[in-house]
Amino acid sequence: MAQKFVKVLGIIFIILGIVGFILPLESIFHLTPVHNIVHLASGFVALLMSGTEAKAVLYLKVFGFVYLLVAILGLFTHEFIGIMFLVATNILHFIIAFGSLYVGFTSPASKSANKTVSH
C-alpha cells in the first residue's frame, strides 16, 4: 500500500510542480518558483523511493514529518525562503503530513520493521 501511495503522491507533486510554473494559482495557493521546485524534488524523490515497500515507508515517515513541520511553520509566518503560506496551503500541508504519516506508520512493512528492531 505504501508503494502505491508514494508513487501517486510523486506523480501528483511532479504535475503540481510543472503546473505551478505555468499557472501559479496565486489566489489559492500562491505557488512560487521555489515552491514549484520543492514540489518537483518531492515528486522525483517519491518516485525513486516507491521501488520497494520499505523505501516507501521510510519516505512517508520522513516526508510526513517534514511536511508537518512545514505546516506548523506556516501557522506562524506568511513567507519562508520564497514559499508563501496561505490558509489553503497550510490545510493541504497538514493533510499531506497526516496522510503520509498514517500510511507510513500503519503499513505492514512498518510493523514488520518495528518487530525486527524490538527483538
- Using pLDDT thresholds of 50, 70 and 90, give the confidence band for residue 27: confident
pLDDT in tens, 47-59: 999 999 999 999 9
Between CA 56 and CA 51 the distance in angstroms is 7
**Does this model's pTM top 0.85?**
no
The cell 520564497 sits on which residue? 82
Q: Where are the domains of the chain?
A: 2-118
pLDDT in tens, 80-117: 887 778 888 889 999 999 999 999 999 987 766 555 54
Q: What are the helix (H) ranges across the chain? A: 2-22, 33-49, 53-76, 87-106, 108-118
Q: What is the pLDDT of residue 65?
A: 97
What cell was used for 14?
Answer: 511532479
Spatial CA neighbour of 49 closest among 103, 98, 6: 6
